[in-house]
Amino acid sequence: MSVLTRDEAQTRSRLLDVHHYAIELDLTRGDETFDSRTVIRFTVRGDTDSTDTFVEVKPAELRTVTLDGHPLDPAALDENRLALKNLAPGEHELRVDAAMRYSRTGEGMHRFTDPSDGETYVYTQLFLDDVQRVYAAFDQPDLKAVFDLTVTAPEGWTVLANGVTEHTGDGRWKAATTPLISTYLVAVAAGPWHSVRTEHRGLPFGLHCRRSLAPHLDTDADELLEVTRACFDRYHEKFTEPYPFDSYDQAFVPEFNAGAMENPGLVTFRDEFVFRSAVTDTQRQTRAMVIAHEMAHMWFGDLVTLRWWDDIWLNESFAEYMGYQTTAEATRFTDTWTDFGVTRKAWGYDADQRPSTHPVAPEDVRDTASALLNFDGISYAKGASALRQLVAWLGEKDFLAGINIHFDRHKFANASLADFIDSLAAATDRDVHAWADAWLRTTGVDTLTPSITGDNGSRALTVHRTGVRPHRIAVGLYDQDPGEEGRLTPRERLDLDVPQAEPRPIGKLPALVVLNDGDLSYAKIRFDADSFRTLSDSLSGLPDPLTRAVVWNALRDAVRDGELPAAAYLGIARTHLPHETDLALVDGVLAFAAGQVADRYVTPEQRPAALNTLAELCRDLIRRTEDGDHPGLRLIAVRHRISTAAHPDTIAAWLADGTVPGGPELDPELRWRILTRLAVLGATDEAAIAAELASDPSATGQEGAARCRAALPDADAKARAWDAMFASDDLSNYLFTATAQGFWQPEQADLVRDYVPRYYTEAVALAARRGPAIADAAGRWAFPAHAVDTDTLRLGQECLAGADPIPALRRKLTDQLDDLARALRVREAHAD
């Protein structure tokens, strides 16, 4: 499929004004294809040099095309482009009749049949350039138009769309006319949905899921709607422009590749957010944040849309920042920035230190394939961190004033970085343009290091910066509490601008200095020697979870940079995590300790000791929560106790009993988690997996069974799993991911050794055959991450140099190989 270049988009934008799409979809044509009929009304300007352009469509069959009533040859379709030549200035009408393929990869029109009850559902995911898999379009974000949509669906189905839909009889549904929106934001979701409907501020609100999840949605509907209403009201306090669409539906859809998608009026979420098993409050907080994030897009992205994909940060960074901030302001989840600090921010730091890094606002996004790669930790986490720093520097009042100027100037239109900076500049006397150049046009992570000089009683603090950005930070000074050993009390919080004009007096020597306390900037931090000794002994004695998140992130960075031995990190976790109260911190630290430290940063010989440390830590947490007062903390400890089990006895007994002693009872998620670990350890078999699947035949159960079967330490099981991933195209995106997650296990390195060189050749072929979504999954989940050795690195480098993987896979391989090289450096740094 030809990708759209920025130059082509700019040329087409100068030539065309697109006014209206009338789209008719027929979803009753069978399991493989659906019918798509599109009428596009557009104007050709008379003041351009070129009168040639093209429309995009990627059909199973292109039946007919007419331009102004004159037929065009369908055979002239070149890949996904149909040329429109010698267009006269003035009004035109293009009609396209095609059969389109359903997808099993989450791209275009995805079709899913629920194994629980046999019901079928379809939904669109048209981002970034998958519009052409569903209807013919001038597919670029700055050619906004009005859309009218009709859908013919099987009896018993409900059709959801961007606007309110009406059933007009004979299976036909008509959606209300949209305001001006971009092509990639058109949305349809059809099937026998279970729906919960209400109204708020005169607008219809709805929650929708597949019928098999109905009891779980009903259980959480009050919470979901409460969060939705609270965020909706808070945005109306922040923004002068009211919500610009006629309804607000939230559909939880199966096998969704992203967390959610901001289709105006019909936000689609992965349906794992309809919780069917026990979850922690942090998981509920994450769901609330995603709701707030997607709602922010109704303004940032839908009302005002980027002009070209170099400004995706105008969508994602703003929605990320607003999602966390608004959740904290408007809901019961007031500690969102701690979760951001320990999870999302680490995602940004990691991405920004790889060779694939890019500025938050890159200047050279040549085409749509390149743009798709930039939806990463930089565009989300780093961009949101930059905005948080901007608010700290600019002040929230001026920040919101600038945003509202931006909405007023560009509503229902498109805007660029320059437009946005101009809007901010109109609300402040500060040099926002210089700030943008320093923060949005540069790459890499700055490092801030403290030094303390002077005699006791007259100390001074200097913060040294490695990097290029100005930082407005808080510095926390902490003293040991004389009344309680291990407890730290805040002495003072200093506001500093880095670089500093001169050293800052701090009086007597503090026990601990924490740079970027409050986490308002984006930088790695280091500790002076005295502070490191203090936190090694007293980290859990810090009173604020956000401060502890800053410290844990700094320790994580030090491990990744080879400055702190992995064993020392595990020792600090072993000492302090049993006393931690913040769920996001416990889960984040354990995830890094298990997934990176134990699986990659220690040698195979050291791994059993690392797993034993983590198992002991989890046992302490489980003992601490026996009173039943901390169910979320206990659930986290149980999950990680399962995943780090080196021996099957304890967890096998839990599975046999159906409960952990003292709780919790094993729900489907925990049962599949235990069975997967037992498969890895060779302590279960196909009969047990089949029995579990018979008890839980849901889609999640199918994924659990695929994961378990791929994890069995058996040559035939590995061969079947490999063939399912790479020799066949039958697996959906979710079943591919589940199989990949089970296949590679550190405990089975010898068994799968011969598959490592095969991976590179077969992943390249798979990605070329199945496209970007599967390429992303193959690069993320099917990569042999356990194989931390120079041969794996060499094979990967040879693949990048000579095999020409498609961009989505190339980006993932580049990142994976950089992480592999880092793991080798970490091991080498502490080899003695």
Which amino acid, 331? Answer: T
Q: How far apart are CA 742 and CA 675, in angstroms?
A: 11
- Ordered strands of the 203-209 beta sheet: 194-200, 203-209, 248-253, 266-270, 260-261
Report the chain's terminal Cα–Cα distance, integer Å. Answer: 52
Q: How far apart are CA 547 and CA 341, in angstroms?
A: 10
813 Cβ contact list (under 8 Å, min separation 6) = 760, 763, 779, 783, 796, 799, 800, 805
CA distances for 696 relative to 273, 584, 703, 709, 742, angstroms: 18, 29, 11, 15, 19
462 Cβ contact list (under 8 Å, min separation 6) = 450, 451, 452, 453, 500, 503, 504
Q: How far apart are CA 137 and CA 183, in angstroms?
A: 7
CB 187 within 8 A of CB 268: yes
507 phi, psi to nearest 5 deg: 75, -135
432, exposed or middle or buried, with CB in 10 Å at 0-12, 13-18, 19+? buried
Q: Which residues pair with 64 in a beta bridge?
A: 97
Peptide bond into 545 cis (omega under 30): no
CB 733 within 8 A of CB 105: yes
* Catalytic status, residue 294: yes
405 Cβ contact list (under 8 Å, min separation 6) = 423, 424, 426, 427
Q: Which residues pair with 159 in a beta bridge?
A: 190
294 Cβ contact list (under 8 Å, min separation 6) = 260, 261, 262, 267, 269, 319, 323
**Helices 715-726 & 699-711, crossing angle to 10 degrees?**
130
Q: How far apart are CA 306 and CA 406, in angstroms?
A: 12
Q: Buried b / exposed e across 470-497, counting CB within 10 Å, b at 16+?
A: bbbbbbbbbbbeeeeeeebebeeebebe
Q: How far apart are CA 318 and CA 440, in angstroms?
A: 13
CB 119 within 8 A of CB 191: yes
Of how many residues is the chain composed? 832
* Candidate list 255, 262, 294, 320, residue with the active-site label: 294
698, exposed or middle or buried, with CB in 10 Å at 0-12, 13-18, 19+? middle
The catalytic residues are 294
